[in-house]
Amino acid sequence: MGENFQAFLNSVVDFVWGWPLVILLFGTHVFLTIRLGFIQRFIIPAIKISFGKDSASKGDVSHFGALTTALAATIGTGNIFGVAGAVAIGGPGAVLWMWLTGVFGFATKYGEALLSVKFRTTTPDGRVVGGPMYVLERGMNMKWLGMVFAFLTAIAAFGIGNMTQSNTISGMVASITTNSEVFPAIPAWLTGVLLAGATAAVILGGIKSIAQVCTFLVPFMAIAYVAGCLVILAMNAAEIPGTISLIVSSAFNGHAATGGFVGAGIAKAMQMGIARGLFSNEAGLGSAPIVAAAARTTNPVRQALVSATGTFWDTVVICALTGLVIVSSGEWLNTGDRVVLSELAFGQLPVWGPLILTVGLFTFVFSTILGWSYFGERAAEYLLGPKVIVPYRFLWVAAVFIGSVATLDAVWAFADIFNGLMAIPNLISLIALSGIIAAESRKYLSGRDGITLSTPGE
């Protein structure tokens, strides 16, 4: 019975993540890129704004706080195991398609953040809230679809942002420490207790507490992980030119069966790269705009630019480095298990490699749990009102522990299904309201350096 149900779920995952959604997702990336005149050209000004201050009083967190909270949610297991899984199934070419998803996804992340700030609202107790559900309700007069999105998000959060994350780190820590001659064995339940306790200490304080922790944690974990990847790539310096050539050629020609790799054509490389790209950077998913709407900003474009840099850091930088580490190791030819592949690739650097992987994964997972707790909470509040906030937080903490010690094959499948489904209403709003996105961009973007210098009408 269990195997049949899992097989059914896997078939649903394949259906949801079939070519229609892949085309809709990547097509939206390309469409908005063209409609907005290649908004990616503003990446440098956007990064500058990320670290600046906005004098606006409306909003709960700073530009940087909103960005790091969004990055906390997006930089997770997808940046390591997602990349490894894409390579294991789609071949090296999947890395390029994942990278392109990040490049073009900049426009989508920009568009969804702009709309969420424009159509945000203030609760009776003074909190600023927004997201695709409010865009669908206030921008398209389709509250029913906003409720559908909120329901999918509230449920999906427990998959992509909670139980699968804690399950991954508890399993990895147990595996590495059990087989290590350096570290003492750490059982899954202990990891679960520590992770749940740390989560409770942060999320019970709400978005300001989450943003404060993420503002410190995200830069630290990103810099440490990137540095570790660069050290491993330096060890494989002679292999890098050939690795890049292999990634590019495999993206457009596929890769034949070699060694333990079963082979994959261009279609599979493209499908896995784009699908795992969304799982990693979440551009088009509709999650990050929920926290973007809470930012203090003088106009929608400023925060939209800041939010869009998330795809750059997440996919263009971190996922690309992970892909280079994995492909250059050659271990993808020997195993199709994404966890084993990650361990073997980082194991090229004795002691420090596994440590980089473990610490990187732990910080990635913890930050994702924090960020997604806010996304899920806002979605639940949209459906049931403020009374659900405290119970949702306690349920979230409990799920962190359960995820650490349970077998979650079905949860992984449900996460993939709900992620794909929640992207659909968000993408519909982006396409339908693309005219507003373009008009707002023309209204506020000024100056030769591309920084939003003026705020017309304010």
- Condensed to tens digits (0 to 9), the pLDDT of residues 92-150 reads 999 999 999 999 999 999 999 999 999 999 888 888 899 999 999 999 999 999 999 99
pLDDT for 183: 66
Residue-wise pLDDT for 266-294, tens only, equals 888 888 888 778 777 888 889 889 988 88
| Residue 337: pLDDT band with limits 50, 70, 90 | confident
> What is the pLDDT at residue 454?
44
Backbone CA torsion sign across 296, 300, 302, 303: positive
**DSSP annotation of 184:** P
CA distance 208 to 65: 9
How far separated are the first and last CA of the chain, in Å rounded? 62
pLDDT for 457 = 38
CA separation for the pair 436, 135 (Å, rounded): 12
Please tell me the predicted confidence (pLDDT) of residue 58: 62
Give the residue carrying structure tokens 């073997």: 344
Name the band, by pLDDT with cuts 50, 70 and 90, for residue 54. Answer: low
Nearest to 158 by CA among 382, 359, 401: 401
Overall pTM surpassing 0.85 (yes/no):
yes
Q: Pull the structure tokens for residue 127.
A: 């909190």
Apex CA 29: angle with CA 292 and CA 44, to 5°?
A: 60
pLDDT band at 458 (very low <50, low <70, confident <90, very high): very low
How far apart (Å, rounded) are the C-alpha atoms in residues 400 and 395?
Answer: 9
pLDDT level of residue 305 (50, 70, 90 thresholds): very high
Sole residue written with tokens 């750059």: 312
Q: What is the pLDDT of residue 448?
A: 42
SS3 128: strand
What pLDDT, in 10s, does the model give residues 374-409? 899 999 999 999 999 999 999 999 999 998 888 767
pLDDT at 166 over 50: yes
Tell me what pLDDT residue 327 has: 93
Contact 326, 336 (CB under 8 A): no
pLDDT digits (tens, 9 = 90+) for 202-260: 888 877 788 788 888 888 888 888 888 898 899 889 999 999 999 999 988 877 777 67
- Check: CB of residue 161 under 8 Å from CB of residue 371: yes
Contacts of 102 (CB under 8 A, 6+ apart): 277, 280, 281, 283, 311, 312, 314, 315, 316, 319, 320
User: Residue 185 has what DSSP assignment?
Assistant: P
68-79 pLDDT, tens digit each: 777 777 777 778
Where residue 171 falls among pLDDT bands split at 50, 70, 90? confident
Express as a percent the part of the chain with pLDDT over 90. Answer: 37
pLDDT for the residue 441: 93
Whether the predicted pLDDT of 449 surpasses 50 = no
Percentage of residues in the chain having pLDDT higher than 70: 92
